[in-house]
Amino acid sequence: MTRYSKILGTGGYLPEEIRTNDDISKTVDTSDTWIYERTGIKSRRIAGANETASSMAEIAARQAISAAQIAPEDIDLIIVATGTPDRVYPSTACLLQHRLGIKHCVAFDIQAACSGAIYGLSIADQYIKTGAVKHVLIVGSEICSRIVDWTDRGTCILFGDGAGALLLGSSDEAGVLSTHVYSDGGYEDMLYCPNSQAATEANKHELGVINMRGNEVFKMAVNTLERIVDETLEANNMQQSEIDWLVPHQANIRIIAATAKKLKMSIDQVIVTLQEQGNTSSASVLLALHEGISDGRIKRGQVVLLEAFGAGFTWGSALIKY
């Protein structure tokens, strides 16, 4: 018997505080117009003082579990993608497992920056296809606002906080058609966040905040995503016209537009949350997917292409029949 994985439910959570471009322009030399024209971002959410990656993950996860109409104890595996874990260890996934009241399942974190959700989906798909598990909870949860230098105009305008969740289940019908994930650590210095707690003598002066060479990252992202779009279509013997929806990582509207152009898709066929959420790193693809499903745009039977690019560099795609 051939096993497949299928989306059973999604969830999402955004913190209450909204920080607009105008708010940022009060402390940094920038403006709403300057930010929006270059990024497509108007505002982003900021986690509350007592919120954590695991607390946000729990809210998104419970929504996905409810939508899937299963009990928490039916979950066999929890994968949390995050670059802002509650603790170095135990993993945020273990903390989430406890919050959900699940005693017997496997739980671990992955760190693939903005590609984390795609990596998590790919891992979950393999577990289900081998028959090792039946239900996998994938969560991307990030508090980017705590690792951003709010005096650095190049980065503080980009990032926001939030959590997205996806419940994947075993099915006799193909749901996840293919996943494609890659990494190349040779570009480590283009986009990184130092770990100040484990710093060597040589780099102990570095603050634990996001560092990015924006123009270079932009060029690499556009070129890399174009190649993976071609690979994904070829692997599934599909034409561009057969894709109903593009759900991209929400990094920059120009990157999103370039990928849509590659697919010959109208921007109306792209789920864009960037304007009001900013870049929520590993949470962004799952938050966008949840929005597209919950508002009724993405319908059962439609073909959806997910894609992301992040620090590492890491990148990936997933083609899904919802």
Q: How confident is the model at residue 203 (pLDDT cuts 50, 70, 90)?
A: confident
- Single pTM value for the model: 0.97
Residue finishing a domain among 116, 147, 173: 173
Tell me what pLDDT residue 37 has: 97
CATH number at 147 reads 3.40.47.10
Whether residues 167 and 288 share a domain: the answer is no
pLDDT at 132 over 90: yes
**For residue 302, what are the domain limits?**
177-321
Provide the annotated active-site residues. Answer: 114, 249, 279
- Helix 116-129 with 284-294: angle, nearest 10 deg: 70
Residue finishing a domain among 147, 173, 199: 173
pLDDT at 87 over 80: yes
- Tell me the CA distances in angstroms from 57 to 32, 144, 226, one per residue in order: 30, 14, 31
Whether residues 106 and 221 share a domain: the answer is no
Whether residues 141 and 274 share a domain: the answer is no
Residue finishing a domain among 120, 148, 173: 173
Whether residues 150 and 195 share a domain: the answer is no
Whether residues 16 and 118 share a domain: the answer is yes
Longest dimension (CA), the chain: 61
What does the buried/exposed string (b/e) look like for 177-204 if buried means 16 or more CB atoms within 10 Å of the residue's CB? bbbbbbbeeebeebbbbbeeeeeeeeee
Which secondary structure element, helix H or strand E, spans residue 319, and what is its range? strand 314-321
Tell me what pLDDT residue 199 has: 86
When pLDDT is averaged across residues 276-305 and rounded to a whole number, the result is: 98
Whether residues 243 and 139 share a domain: the answer is no
Structure tokens at 205: 């002066």
Domain count, the chain: 2
When pLDDT is averaged across residues 94-121 and rounded to a whole number, the result is: 98
Q: How confident is the model at residue 202 (pLDDT cuts 50, 70, 90)?
A: confident
pLDDT at 1 over 80: no
When pLDDT is averaged across residues 20-49 and rounded to a whole number, the result is: 97
Per residue in 215-258, pLDDT (tens digit) is 999 999 999 999 999 999 999 999 999 999 999 999 999 999 99
